[in-house]
Amino acid sequence: MRESDASRPAGRPDTVETDLLLWWEDFYLPVFEYVLPKMGTLEGKKVLELGTGTGGTATLLAKQGASVVGIDLLPFRLAEAKERATQHNVADAVNFCLMDATQLAFPDNTFDVVISKSVLVFTAHTQTARECYRVLKPGGKAIFIENMRNHPAVWLYRKMWLKYSRKLHYFSVRDIETVGAEFNTLEHREFHLFAVGALFWQKGIPIPAFYRWTLRHLNTMDAYLLRRFPKLKNLCWITAMICHKT
């Protein structure tokens, strides 16, 4: 779903520019379409992005009217992020800093929103969650988009090809609830059960038409199954947590 900059009302976080999702865009698109409306109007809000990487999400939110601070531990990524923000004419609305997500150098009650994508898996979940709660303003939200541990195909892929993944703290539903316990309220949604199978037609035998058709129909099937059988969410690939501070 896209709209031109001219037709999109300022501050409405209801559209996603897929080029700013940076990787796995087809799989992160529905996740962002879920979380962005949860932020409400971003015009004039202060947002912190943990693990900003090359700045795609920070740039996306700045284009919606937010004032964004993006932090990361890799200086060369921060340089790339600054360049991306400049390319999209939002350099004045984004500040990138070298900082550890578990030790945030900000006062209490600073940000309206904290957001991260695949960051908590590299940290002790509760320590990072407590820091995020601390720097959130009352009424603020922390949005964590994370990888789950129990999807059979993804688990096998990690075991065979991602040796470093053994050191990461992937999420189960219990882990989601543990993070949520650091906040006042939690809502979450899980994504991509059978839809991961569409990657066969993208990575295995690349046939774009088959890939698009399969992804569309498997996404529909996933939505039905997860509504009908909620326990299956523990076998999904991605979770999006919306954590509230009252």
Residue 8 has pLDDT above 80, yes or no: no
Q: In what order do the strands lie in the sheet with 185-191?
A: 94-98, 67-72, 46-50, 111-117, 136-147, 238-244, 185-191
Q: pTM here?
A: 0.91
What the block records as the tokens of 119 is 């960051």
To which H or E segment does residue 145 belong?
strand 136-147
pLDDT at 20: 81
What the block records as the tokens of 59 is 């740039």
User: For the chain, what is the mean pLDDT?
Assistant: 91
Over residues 22-27, mean pLDDT:
82
One-letter identity of residue 136 = L
d(CA 43, CA 67): 8
pLDDT at 62: 96
One-letter identity of residue 12 = R
pLDDT tens digit sequence for 144-175: 999 999 999 999 999 998 888 888 999 999 99
Domains of the chain (ranges; CATH) run 18-193+236-244 (3.40.50.150)
CA distances from 36 to 48, 141, 187 (A): 14, 11, 14
Q: Do residues 132 and 111 touch, judged by C-beta distance below 8 A?
A: no
The CA-based dihedral angle spanning residues 102, 108, 110, 112, taken in that order and rounded to the nearest 10 degrees:
80
What the block records as the tokens of 3 is 């709209």
Residue 17: band (very low, low, confident or very high) from pLDDT cuts 50, 70, 90: confident
DSSP string, 43-62: TT-EEEEES-TTSHHHHHHH
